[in-house]
Amino acid sequence: MKISRKDNDALNALLTIDIDRKDFSEKVDIVLGDYRKQANIPGFRKGHVPMGLIKKQYETAVTAEEVNKLLQENLEKYLKEEKIDILGNPLPVMKEVLDWTAETLSFDFELGLSPAFEVDLSGKKKITHYQITADDKMINEQLIIIKSNMVN
């Protein structure tokens, strides 16, 4: 798996994730094996359906599901590792046709980057900050008020 980032401008980036078939093929085979064990297709005993028939019916859907899981995990991990602050969620770039049988699948995501800014309040009016410490007498008075409100 390969993840690359291309900054379009200061606030937009394009993230490309290339997934090799070897990254998800083992998981797809495991899921298809589980489907085969539980498949109830007329003409075959339960659990004895040929793998070719299972692959023909379910392989594309299972591949799409496993690739989606892999994309979500690695996209989230990449954003955390690189400490990329984004606005909203990554938006997938739609492609016309996606060949699920290809050796390498490529997915693009548009990222809205969070702008960096600083707020300088040094020239503004000073604010008084009060430090309030609660003593036992104040706490007990508040408890009495709260208890009396609960009864009413």
pLDDT in tens, 5-52: 998 888 899 999 999 989 888 999 999 888 888 888 888 888 888 888
Nearest to 16 by CA among 91, 99, 86, 109: 109
The pTM assigned to this predicted structure is: 0.68
Residue 124 pLDDT exceeds 80: no
pLDDT digits (tens, 9 = 90+) for 97-118: 888 888 888 999 999 988 888 8
In CATH, 2-112 is 3.40.1390.30: no
Question: pLDDT band at 152, cuts 50/70/90?
Answer: low
Question: pLDDT band at 145, cuts 50/70/90?
Answer: very high
Predicted pLDDT of residue 65: 92
